Amino acid sequence: MLRTMYCNFNTDLLRLRQRSVRLNGIATCLRLEEIYWSIIEELAREESLTVGKLISRWAMEMDLAHESIWNFTGYVRVVCVVQLMRRTNSAHQLENSNTPSLPAAHDAL
């Protein structure tokens, strides 16, 4: 079996899962790949929030920025990636202080 550098992961992470959440009091469903749910759960745990409260916070920040987002699920995916990039960038900054930092989450989105 060929092992690759980029595709060496459990394919269960690609599986879509629909989850009911309350976004600022409004019940809705989000359908995301397992990898994104894992990222969101970890981010929520770090902030001592439930998944729903964390995603509600992201939705509120989006509304406060007066952003018109047509694909909220895509927005959630991008927030996850930006958060991971920030972590990676922070780790690299510790090693190399000449690396520019990423913009704030609301600026990047």
Q: Domain map of the chain by residue range?
A: 11-108
Write down the pLDDT at residue 8.
83
pLDDT tens readout for residues 61-98: 888 887 778 889 999 999 999 999 998 887 666 566 55
CATH number for 11-108: choose from 1.10.3990.20, 1.10.3480.10, 3.40.50.970, 3.40.190.10: 1.10.3990.20
Residues 73/31, Cβ–Cβ less than 8 Å: yes
Confirm if 2 and 13 have CB atoms less than 8 A apart: no
Taking a C-beta distance cutoff of 8 angstroms, is the pair 16, 37 a contact? no
Q: Is 35 helix (H, G, I), strand (E, B) or coil?
A: helix
β-sheet bridge partners, residue 27: 22
Which alpha helices (DSSP H) does the chain contain, by range?
Answer: 34-46, 51-64, 72-95, 105-108
Give pLDDT, residue 91. 66
Strand partners, 21: 28
